[in-house]
Amino acid sequence: MQAFNDTWSARTTGVSGIEGKLANVSTFERMSVINSLLPTGNEIKEARRLASKSRASVACRSCMQLKKRCSDERPCTRCKRHGKSSTCFRSEGSGLDQIQRPIVYTPAYLEFDDFRSPASKFALRNEWAFDSVIRLWSLGYQAGIIAKFFDSIPPQISSVAKRVLGLMENLARVRAASRAAGSRDNPAPICPPTSFGAEDDQNLRFQMRADAARWEGENVYGFFQIAFNPATRQRTGVVMNSRYADLLGMHKEELLSRYAARDVVPHRTDQDQLLIWLTDLQHLFDDAVKGTVEQYYRIHGPPGPGGSRPAALVWTSMAKTADPWGRVTKVTLLMQAISPEDYDAAVLPAPQAFP
């Protein structure tokens, strides 16, 4: 009965908890009981540590910055959430020399609207190469490197190249005149429009984005596509997959930005570069309905030990797309690396495709 009265008294007077327990003890005993109930300094430190750990990032620093597989001792929370715990770890030593990506997103389509006149950028000793240099610069190559390359051609080769290009230009003019005149079986086509419609441009852009998305997951073939305004022959857009940039030793974002700034460095060896430039580029906008062209040539591969870039053989396949008037609107290039073990097997079926 006395215990019931004490409890009732505590409730009615608002005394509860620790005060209720200490109601009938001395002051010294009260302080002793209070100290035993309070947390210790070590307990406070442990609570702070646990709170700090709970506020930590759900992903390791590597996953946050590079969005790649991390090198932490355990899979990070982000990789666990996406079901990638088994691939969260890097193999020892791999990726240490990988350059950090300039940006963390991947643009699907690079559009061009800069049609400046490049005439003031070039002063060539070999004037016969002026048209070729202008074409290469408009595609995205560095002006200084192109001009230096053509000026370094020996006089004997320069004179031969000048005559060959002259013959090619005459042949192209004859073909153009023949198409314009028409014949009984093939009447002259209607004069093409002088501008490229906005709807056609939008459809081409949509198609190129779809092609880029389709090829992005490819690990063997590099994919590159460039679009042109058929009326002005100026570039209007570029797409590529990551494998194409990887074959040239770059990230896709870096290579796209170089195309945007006309800062692309020629990736072929000097001998193969001269051969390709003097043949293919002269007919870049001609023979639009011609079938796919396959070639093999050597490129400077990714940097090796000491910063050197050894040459590597690649297979390429180039196809052109034309509008109803036969004008080129798009050029598509596929590229595949050929290992040294497969050189002979690649050369025997088509030796004429090699430089």
pLDDT tens-place string over residues 105-139: 455 666 666 555 555 556 677 777 777 777 777 78
Let me know whether 93 and 207 are in one domain. Answer: no
pLDDT higher than threshold 70 for residue 75: no
What average pLDDT score do residues 148-165 get? 77
Q: What is the pLDDT of residue 193?
A: 61
Q: Would you tell me how many other CB atoms lie within 10 Å of the CB of residue 51? A: 9
Let me know whether 231 and 315 are in one domain. Answer: yes
Q: What is the pLDDT of residue 13?
A: 47
pLDDT higher than threshold 50 for residue 94: no
* Distances in whole angstroms, Cα of residue 128 to Cα of each of 79, 120, 160, 189, 255: 58, 17, 11, 32, 29
pLDDT higher than threshold 80 for residue 235: yes
Let me know whether 222 and 323 are in one domain. Answer: yes
pLDDT higher than threshold 60 for residue 15: no
Q: For the packed helices 143-151 and 130-139, what is the interaxial angle rounded to 10 degrees?
A: 150
The model's pLDDT over 251-306, given as tens digits with 9 standing for 90+, comes to 888 888 888 888 888 888 777 777 776 666 555 555 555 678 788 888 876 666 66
pLDDT higher than threshold 60 for residue 56: no
Let me know whether 207 and 347 are in one domain. Answer: yes
pLDDT classification of 187: cutoffs 50, 70, 90:
low
**Measured CA angle at 241 (ends 235, 246), to 5 deg:** 110
pLDDT higher than threshold 70 for residue 69: no
Let me know whether 67 and 201 are in one domain. Answer: no
Residue 264 included in any domain: yes
Let me know whether 236 and 348 are in one domain. Answer: yes
Highest mean pLDDT among 5-19, 96-110, 326-340: 326-340
Residue 262 included in any domain: yes
Let me know whether 274 and 334 are in one domain. Answer: yes
Residue scoring higher pLDDT (99 or 247): 247
Collect all residues with Cβ–Cβ distance below 8 Å to 341 and sequence separation of at least 6: none
Let me know whether 94 and 210 are in one domain. Answer: no
Let me know whether 348 and 270 are in one domain. Answer: yes
pLDDT higher than threshold 50 for residue 163: yes
Residue 143 included in any domain: no
What CATH number does the domain containing 335 carry?
Answer: 3.30.450.20
Range of 20's domain? 2-43
Let me know whether 349 and 271 are in one domain. Answer: yes
**344 is written with which tokens?**
């002979």
pLDDT classification of 91: cutoffs 50, 70, 90:
very low
Q: What is the pLDDT of residue 103?
A: 47
Q: What is the pLDDT of residue 240?
A: 92
Let me know whether 276 and 310 are in one domain. Answer: yes
Q: What is the pLDDT of residue 225?
A: 93
> Structure pTM?
0.59
pLDDT classification of 221: cutoffs 50, 70, 90:
very high
pLDDT higher than threshold 90 for residue 307: no
pLDDT higher than threshold 60 for residue 85: yes
HSE-up (13 A, CA, CB side) for residue 125: 10
Let me know whether 91 and 17 are in one domain. Answer: no
pLDDT classification of 95: cutoffs 50, 70, 90:
very low
Q: What is the pLDDT of residue 67?
A: 46
Residue 33 included in any domain: yes
pLDDT higher than threshold 90 for residue 223: yes
Residue 261 included in any domain: yes
Residue 208 included in any domain: yes
AA letter at 255 = L
What average pLDDT score do residues 226-252 get? 87
Residue 216 included in any domain: yes
Across the chain, mean pLDDT equals 69
Spatial contact of 277 and 297, defined as CB atoms under 8 Å apart:
no
Tally of domains in the chain? 3
Residue 30 included in any domain: yes
What average pLDDT score do residues 218-230 get? 90
Q: Report the C-alpha gap between 126 and 147 in whole angstroms.
A: 9
What average pLDDT score do residues 43-55 get? 64
